[in-house]
Structure 1
Amino acid sequence: MSDKKGVLLVNLGSPDSPAVGNVRRYLREFLMDGRVMDIPWLTRFFVVHFAILPTRPRESAEAYRKVWLPEGSPLVVTSKNVREQLQTRVDVPVELAMRYQNPSIELAVDNLLNGGVDEILLIPLFPHYAMSSYETAVEKTKTVLDRRAPGVKLVVQPPFFDQPDYIRALVASASETLDRGYDHLLFSFHGLPERQLRKTDPSGRHCLAASDCCAGSHPAHGTCYRAQCFKTVEAFVQAAGVPPENYSVAFQSRLGRDPWLQPYTDLELPRLAKQGVKRMLVICPAFVSDCLETIEEIGMRAKETFTEAGGESL
């Protein structure tokens, strides 16, 4: 057998366009994933099809229209640029796929297999481990590859939440804004339901059992989204020289009534504004590319929330 390797980058995904029908198709695939909405299948089906899809696609389509680029979805466009840049630096084929919608994992795997690869390095474009992002991308790829070419080796890149190159890239992306001066730096990570942290805890008893469960080192941290987020923050502030009193951490994008990781970004911003913070910086380290959650949710809606509460700039 030849020894030909290939690389597969996988990001979350986006609708093919901001049209309501395409947004509905994307949301249906995304929310029906049992690792995203981790409730019994029948309950999930009724919630998605009768509570969410009748209204959410139109609302989300409006948000997507605000951020859509001439070339397409910001997330897909940026991810394609990443693939192209990586391809210029390695001498093996590099393919890009989205966990949901297009380009699909099936298409990307087929392209690699048609090129004769017998080993694939899978790089999920998620710095932190979560069942609804990193894990679902890995498991979907395994399923596709097992069906198409079970003899092909799959090597999975671990989460890179504290890797020096990732931290340096984060600091570099923020350095110009940090140098302008600010009152407070908020690290806003995508939120998760608390139950999902407990589900990915191999010990079944560590995550969220105590207020300091993410401190220090513990085997559960290998699959703990919250602990890995805090490790990213620790590495960032050390590298960038941010004083402890000048930053905090929050979690955005919660959905539904179940408890999610706290504090919530949309509540922290007005609270900080009312405490006298005027110049707010927000960085979203869980996203490797700009997307709806960074451009519209933070750059537009969160900015409006902050300024209405007395802040001056975000």
Structure 2
Amino acid sequence: MKGALLVNLGSPDSTSVKDVKKYLDEFLMDKRVIDTPYLIRAFVVKGIILNTRPKKSAEAYKKIWWNEGSPLIVLSERLHKKVKEQTQIPVELAMRYGNPSIKSGIQKLVNKGVTEIFLIPLYPQFAMATTETIVVLANKIVKKEYPNIKITDFPAFYNKEDYISVLSNSIQKHLEETKPEHLLFSYHGVPERHILKSDITKSHCKIDGSCCNTPSPAHEFCYRHQCYETTKQVAEKLNLKEGTYSTSFQSRLGRDPWLQPYTDQTIENFAKKGIKNLAIVTPAFVSDCLETLEEIGMEAKHSFEEQGGKQFSTIPCLNDDKAWATTVANWINNWAK
């Protein structure tokens, strides 16, 4: 019997410093998030970050928390419900960090008699710290706990026509309402070394502005290429004029070089150049979360207005959009045939 498991990032169980600290510990101790040797990672995370950051992060979560709980969890649950209504096989929801766990999601499917799992990381673009860590953990759990279960993982869907169509339509509705001077595609940032580590050719990626446009097998696992390709395909779909849209990367951590241009600097520069009406879409996420609601929707908005900008609008993630739920359900049903 076949079943599917949708997996998103995850969230603290509450906005308490204790729960946020527990969540950050699990998240930042993942060797695919902070990819340094264990002892160094433990020193940085447990010795420094967890002694300072949980309180600040808890305050940020409080700003965006809903009565029902974490926006990311609530929105993922809504999507899950709509997908289940349109699928012919059991579908469960899990989070890479926090609850419900991947292990619990697999267990629920096994309890329903599932012997073959379709694993769908809810990330359009592949990255070590997102798609890869989900796939690795799910396979590790299955190998140890359920050796007779088969897992098939769904690859990055950044360039799938149905995804691009749904994303473009959601953006178009917003553009018609706000009529911005510029549309910024802001993707979650990753360290440049992650791009180089994911290069299966070990030679193609140079992060020099040209390699992402030069065909290569490396693109299958190149986050940077896939982000720019998402922007490119949406721009073509919406007939956006050159110069009216651009790509940037947010949420950098530490002193190592991360993918550029940085979103915060880009937004400030737009305001200083006289752009008054700016719209931002965050296509690295399918569910609104701390990074979209607080970092972009609040902090970036404040920065833009402080520098002279007048209208700053954030385009919601796909969340539980009806067409998006149908798209995910179609992927599952096509696999299950």
The TM-score bracket by the shorter chain reads over 0.9
Which range moves more in the overlay, 236-245 or 170-179?
Answer: 170-179
Q: CA deviation at 1:218?
A: 0.8
- 2:221: which partner in 1? 223
How many residues get paired? Answer: 311
- 1:191: which partner in 2? 189
- 2:69: which partner in 1? 72
What pairs with 1:239-250 in structure 2 (closer than 5 Å)?
239-250=237-248
Distance 1:209 1:84, change over 3 A: closer
Matched, 1:157 2:149: no
What pairs with 1:25-174 in structure 2 (closer than 5 Å)?
25-174=22-171
Matched, 1:200 2:195: no
Mapped to 2, the partners of 1:239 and 1:251 lie a distance apart of: 22
Structure 2, unmatched stretches of 5+, are: 313-337
Name the SS for the 2:51 alignment partner.
Answer: coil
Which letter maps to 1:37?
Answer: I
- 2:14: which partner in 1? 17
Which letter maps to 1:156?
Answer: D
RMSD over aligned Cα atoms = 0.8
Cα deviation per residue 1:199-222 (whole Å; 9 max; x = unaligned)? 000111211253201004210000
Which range moves more in the overlay, 222-231 or 169-178?
Answer: 169-178
What TM-score, normalized to structure 2?
A: 0.91
Which range moves more in the overlay, 259-268 or 169-178?
Answer: 169-178
Name the SS for the 1:10 alignment partner.
Answer: strand
Cα deviation per residue 1:23-48 (whole Å; 9 max; x = unaligned)? 00000000000000001100000100
Mapped to 2, the partners of 1:275 and 1:166 lie a distance apart of: 33
Mapped to 2, the partners of 1:135 and 1:212 lie a distance apart of: 25
Cα deviation per residue 1:94-126 (whole Å; 9 max; x = unaligned)? 000000010001111111111111100000001
Name the SS for the 2:243 alignment partner.
Answer: helix
| Runs of at least 4 residues off by over 4 Å | none
Name the SS for the 2:228 alignment partner.
Answer: helix
Mapped to 1, the partners of 2:90 and 2:145 lie a distance apart of: 18
Which letter maps to 2:189?
Answer: G
Structure 1, unmatched stretches of 5+, are: none
Mapped to 2, the partners of 1:309 and 1:288 lie a distance apart of: 29
Mapped to 2, the partners of 1:274 and 1:76 lie a distance apart of: 37
Name the SS for the 1:185 alignment partner.
Answer: strand
Which letter maps to 1:247?
Answer: Y
Mapped to 2, the partners of 1:10 and 1:210 lie a distance apart of: 32
Which letter maps to 1:138?
Answer: V
What TM-score, normalized to structure 1?
A: 0.98
- 1:271: which partner in 2? 269
Mapped to 2, the partners of 1:296 and 1:237 lie a distance apart of: 26
Mapped to 1, the partners of 2:301 and 2:187 lie a distance apart of: 16
Cα deviation per residue 1:170-209 (whole Å; 9 max; x = unaligned)? 1222222211311111000000000000000011121125
